Amino acid sequence: MHAFYDRVTDRARRAMEFANYWALRKKHRLVTNLHILWGILEEGHNTASKVLGDMQVDLRKLQQEVVLLLGEGDYATHDKAVCYSEEVRQCICDAISLGLEGPVVLIGCHHLILAMLVGPANPAAELLDRWGVTQELTNAHVRAIVKPVL
């Protein structure tokens, strides 16, 4: 198992598993940030979903938009896992860095969403931007929900 999975919450792990599942099911060559966003929304009981809901994002409609953007692939030679795209590897690195900035020991779904928003331009960040989800607003909502560990 990848070392990243030792550092994530159970919900973030499930979201990443859902992302892999969707990539497999839709015959995509790589897991992208859109797959991770889909996985976070599918998991549904995480800080990122709560933050998006608090920002008046319709989570089901957002997930449907992700599905439309991802479409159907034609890569049928997967076994049980799909490789991560470069954008996902960068998102994971950024999520870990964000987690290390605070008193948090584990990386959660909110770190993944924030990493999508702070990293290089990508389709997931562009979609979230169309819904009015910005790094600043997301960060403020996360800070209001996630209390520092003293």
pLDDT in tens, 42-101: 999 999 999 999 999 999 999 999 999 999 988 877 677 788 999 999 998 888 888 776
| Residue scoring higher pLDDT (20 or 145) | 20
Looking at residues 118-145, what average pLDDT do you find?
90
Mean pLDDT (the chain, rounded): 87
Is pLDDT above 80 for 143? yes
The number of residues making up the chain comes to 150
Is pLDDT above 60 for 149? no
pTM: 0.89
Domains and CATH numbers, the chain: 3-145 (1.10.1780.10)
Q: What is the pLDDT of residue 78?
A: 65
How is residue 118 annotated by DSSP?
Answer: H
Q: What is the pLDDT of residue 126?
A: 94
Rg of the chain over Cα atoms, rounded to whole angstroms, equals 14
pLDDT band at residue 8 under the 50/70/90 scheme: confident
Helices (H), the chain: 10-25, 33-43, 47-54, 59-70, 86-101, 109-118, 123-130, 135-145
Is pLDDT above 60 for 32? yes
